[in-house]
């Protein structure tokens, strides 16, 4: 079954097309890397699928149901830079936010929810930082708090927006471990990703995007020099060495 | 001592004290969320924009009925907020400039109307100019009742929406992503700000009520890193500022209430800035030694 299917999605900003004609279907249990040059609309794609941005047209289904009926199945890790880390709260509180749609309006988090949030922090190696003020965490630790929050959501389809950007090795490992765990549990993961060198190691599916999907499918089929050139145009030159060598290994 | 005892034995002053305490508390608590949402200036615009509303209602109906005047204040406040958002959305003007334009246009219009009222109506206008800087001493029993009930209602609503405000201010994208109606929560917060402005306008005045929203939470931020504690502290600081301002202005003839409240709040802010346990300057200096 398809976990996610997007049909004819189009987004404009100031009357300029940012995304057009986006249609693709993601099989359940897959790990998809969304890659493409700067300004290709990768983050915009995630945000418009999640209806965080107004779209011109398009239809999004999750497990063959309209997106708006399936919000509880969706987990989301936004870019770290999109929130104010000076906000007066601690790591555990942020993770608990992942449970807000389950807790319900006007109610406080129960002990069970708090325990679950602590477990999630523990899974990303952040148990010792539960009561730490979020402004006092390093960039990588902040990213892991976001991961724990996504984990706390206990979703079926996860969207992550550049989780690997600017993080330390420990956080990178935590993200990879988490993605593998999710895959093992049959969850579907879509990740906006920048680093072409690691695409083949991390993802079993790739969406090559440049305002419109260039190609979508299994990594070994889609992630070829030819397709990359189509997506990146002339900007591919500096990548050729790494990509070519990794293809040579195969 | 006798003087102070006499002061507090008057029924009216006790009511004024109680009302200003609650008003300060409500504005401190609501202000915490406004401050974190970086909407302090918008709340100032809403306050200034209340003046023309008061004047227009007075000109049309020619009576000083407080509830009617406050309805006028609410309407022009909301028009101002909407205008700011429309300007930002449909032009290249940035939010600070948009707020600047709206504050001056609405307040300027309000002053023109006020002058018109003072020159044209027959002596009955007394009291309208206290809407500018506030005058606790001129409040009657029903005004205080409105402030008391209104403040309690605002505090209860803010407490109910605590968790929802927290997530939609800290991470609106995530909140929307999990299906929370963030736009609705923003609207509720805006309505609470209008609520503070409208019930506080007679006591504090349109010019300075925004300071009562902004200064107490700003001071509270120097003592805590938790949102809940920040809101409580801001409520306490607001209550102290409100009560001391009201008492001082009642004790000394012709001293407007709003400025006295703001001076008290500013003193608390200054002390917090210097000695605050989380980010205070003294603490930083000691750590550097």
* Chain A residues lying within 8 Å of B169, measured CB to CB: 87
SS3 assignment, position B142: helix
* Chain B residues lying within 8 Å of A82, measured CB to CB: 171, 173
CA-to-CA distance for B178 and B165, rounded, in angstroms?
Answer: 14
CA-to-CA distance for A63 and A26, rounded, in angstroms?
Answer: 10
B164/A153 CB distance under 8 A:
no
Q: How many CB pairs under 8 A join A and B?
A: 77
Residues pairing with A12 in the sheet: A17
- Domain extent listing, chain A: 2-237
Residues pairing with A215 in the sheet: A208
Best residue of A100, A153, A155 to probe chain B, by most B CBs closer than 10 Å: A100
Q: Is residue B209 within 8 Å of residue B198, measured between CB atoms?
A: no
| Backbone phi and psi for residue A19, each to the nearest 5 degrees, phi listed first | -135, 140
B3: confidence class by pLDDT, cuts 50, 70, 90? low
Res A242 pLDDT > 50: no
Please report the pLDDT score of residue B137 as a whole number.
80
Best residue of B171, B224, B232 to probe chain A, by most A CBs closer than 10 Å: B171
Best residue of B29, B31, B177, B277 to probe chain A, by most A CBs closer than 10 Å: B177
Please report the pLDDT score of residue B122 as a whole number.
58
Nearest to B43 by CA among B80, B94, B83: B80
* Chain B residues lying within 8 Å of A74, measured CB to CB: 177-178
Kindly tell me the sign of the dihedral angle through the C-alpha atoms of B272, B273, B274, B276: positive
Q: Which two tokens stand for residue B107?
A: 């307040």
Check if A153 contacts B (Cβ < 8 Å): yes
Residue A228 Cα distances to A19, A196, A234, B102, B217, angstroms: 18, 10, 10, 51, 52
pLDDT digits (tens, 9 = 90+) for A172-185: 999 999 999 999 99
Check if A105 contacts B (Cβ < 8 Å): yes
CA-to-CA distance for A59 and A10, rounded, in angstroms?
Answer: 10
Please report the pLDDT score of residue A248 as a whole number.
37
A88/B166 CB distance under 8 A:
no
Res B148 pLDDT > 90: yes
CA-to-CA distance for A62 and B177, rounded, in angstroms?
Answer: 14
Please report the pLDDT score of residue A83 as a whole number.
93
B170/A87 CB distance under 8 A:
yes
CA-to-CA distance for A240 and B231, rounded, in angstroms?
Answer: 55
Q: Which two tokens stand for residue B93?
A: 């003007």
pLDDT digits (tens, 9 = 90+) for A90-113: 999 999 999 998 888 888 889 999
* Secondary-structure class of domain A2-237 per CATH: alpha beta
pLDDT digits (tens, 9 = 90+) for B179-211: 899 999 999 999 999 999 999 998 999 999 999
CA-to-CA distance for A217 and A231, rounded, in angstroms?
Answer: 14
Average pLDDT, stretch A202-223?
93
B179/A72 CB distance under 8 A:
yes
Res A247 pLDDT > 50: no
B2: confidence class by pLDDT, cuts 50, 70, 90? low
Best residue of A83, A85, A88 to probe chain B, by most B CBs closer than 10 Å: A88
Nearest to B16 by CA among B195, B213, B252, B257: B257
A101/B230 CB distance under 8 A:
no
Q: Is residue B238 within 8 Å of residue B31, measured between CB atoms?
A: yes
B108: confidence class by pLDDT, cuts 50, 70, 90? very high
B8: confidence class by pLDDT, cuts 50, 70, 90? low
| Run of H or E residues at B93 | none
- Domains in chain B: ranges and CATH: 2-288 (1.10.3470.10)
CA-to-CA distance for A111 and B68, rounded, in angstroms?
Answer: 48
pLDDT digits (tens, 9 = 90+) for B80-101: 999 999 999 899 999 999 999 9
Res A246 pLDDT > 70: no
Query: Scanning every residue of chain B, which has its alpha carbon at the shortest distance from the alpha carbon of A50?
Result: B177
Check if A65 contacts B (Cβ < 8 Å): no
Task: Dump the DSSP string for A183-235.
Answer: HHTT-EEEEE---GGGHHHH-SEEEEEESEEEEEEEHHHH--HHHHHHHHGGG
Residues pairing with A2 in the sheet: A27
Beta pairing, strands A65-66 & A57-62: antiparallel
Kindly tell me the sign of the dihedral angle through the C-alpha atoms of B208, B214, B217, B221: negative
* Chain A residues lying within 8 Å of B225, measured CB to CB: 88-90, 133, 135
Kindly tell me the sign of the dihedral angle through the C-alpha atoms of A142, A144, A147, A152: negative
Nearest-by-Cβ selection for A78 from B163, B167, B174: B174
Q: What is the pTM of this model?
A: 0.89
Kindly tell me the sign of the dihedral angle through the C-alpha atoms of B256, B259, B265, B268: negative
Q: Is residue B249 within 8 Å of residue B135, measured between CB atoms?
A: yes
Task: Dump the DSSP string for B167-231.
Answer: HHHH-HHHHHHTT--HHHHHHHHHHHHHHHHHHHHHHH-TTTHHHHHHHHHHHHTTT-S-HHHHH
Please report the pLDDT score of residue A249 as a whole number.
35
CA-to-CA distance for A155 and B120, rounded, in angstroms?
Answer: 67
Residue predicted with more confidence, B125 or B112 = B112
Please report the pLDDT score of residue B123 as a whole number.
52
pLDDT digits (tens, 9 = 90+) for A37-94: 988 999 999 999 999 999 999 999 999 999 988 988 999 999 999 999 999 999 999 9
């Amino acid at each position: 079954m398809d976990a996610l299917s997007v049909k004819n999605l189009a987004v404009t900003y100031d009357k300029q097309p940012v995304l057009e004609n986006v249609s693709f279907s993601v099989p359940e249990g897959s790990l998809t890397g969304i890659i493409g040059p700067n300004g290709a609309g990768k983050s915009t794609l995630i945000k418009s699928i999640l209806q965080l941005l107004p779209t011109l047209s398009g239809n999004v289904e999750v497990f063959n149901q309209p997106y708006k009926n399936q919000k509880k199945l969706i987990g989301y890790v936004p870019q770290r830079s999109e929130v104010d880390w000076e906000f007066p709260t601690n790591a555990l509180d942020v993770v608990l936010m992942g449970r807000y749609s389950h807790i319900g309006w006007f109610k406080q988090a129960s002990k069970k929810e708090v325990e679950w949030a602590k477990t999630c922090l523990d899974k990303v190696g952040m148990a010792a930082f539960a009561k730490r003020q979020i402004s006092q965490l390093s960039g990588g630790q902040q990213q892991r708090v976001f991961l724990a929050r996504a984990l706390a959501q206990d979703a079926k389809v996860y969207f992550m927006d550049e989780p690997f950007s600017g993080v330390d090795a420990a956080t990178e490992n935590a993200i990879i471990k988490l993605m593998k765990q999710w895959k093992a549990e049959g969850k579907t993961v879509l990740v906006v990703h920048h680093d072409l060198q690691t695409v083949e190691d991390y993802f079993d599916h790739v969406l090559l995007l440049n305002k419109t999907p260039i190609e979508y499918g299994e990594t070994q089929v889609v992630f070829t020099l030819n397709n990359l050139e189509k997506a990146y145009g002339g900007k591919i030159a500096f990548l050729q060495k790494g990509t070519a060598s990794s293809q040579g290994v195969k | 001592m006798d003087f102070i005892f006499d002061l507090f034995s008057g029924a009216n002053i006790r009511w004024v004290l109680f009302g200003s305490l609650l008003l300060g508390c409500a504005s401190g608590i609501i202000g915490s969320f406004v401050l974190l949402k970086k909407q302090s200036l918008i709340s100032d615009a809403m306050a200034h924009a209340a003046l023309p509303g008061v004047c227009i209602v007075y000109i049309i109906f020619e009576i000083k009925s407080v509830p009617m005047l406050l309805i006028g204040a609410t309407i022009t406040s909301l028009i101002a907020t909407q205008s700011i958002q429309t300007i930002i959305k449909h032009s290249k003007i940035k939010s600070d400039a948009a707020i600047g334009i709206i504050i001056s246009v609405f307040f300027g219009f309000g002053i023109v109307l006020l002058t018109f009222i003072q020159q044209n109506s027959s002596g009955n206008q007394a009291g309208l100019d206290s809407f500018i800087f506030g005058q606790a001493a001129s409040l009657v029993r029903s005004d205080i009742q409105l402030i008391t009930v209104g403040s309690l209602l605002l505090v209860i609503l803010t407490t109910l929406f605590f968790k929802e405000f927290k997530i939609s201010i800290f991470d609106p994208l995530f909140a929307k992503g999990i299906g929370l109606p963030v736009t609705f929560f923003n609207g509720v917060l805006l309505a609470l700000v209008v609520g503070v402005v409208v019930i506080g306008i007679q006591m504090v005045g349109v010019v300075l009520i925004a300071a009562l929203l902004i200064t107490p939470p700003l001071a509270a931020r120097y003592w805590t890193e938790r949102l809940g504690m920040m809101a409580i502290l801001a409520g306490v600081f607001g209550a102290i500022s409100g009560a001391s301002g009201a008492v001082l202005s009642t004790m000394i003839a012709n001293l407007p209430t709003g400025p006295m409240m703001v001076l008290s709040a500013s003193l608390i802010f200054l002390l917090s800035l210097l000695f605050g346990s989380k980010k205070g300057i003294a603490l930083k200096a000691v750590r550097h030694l």
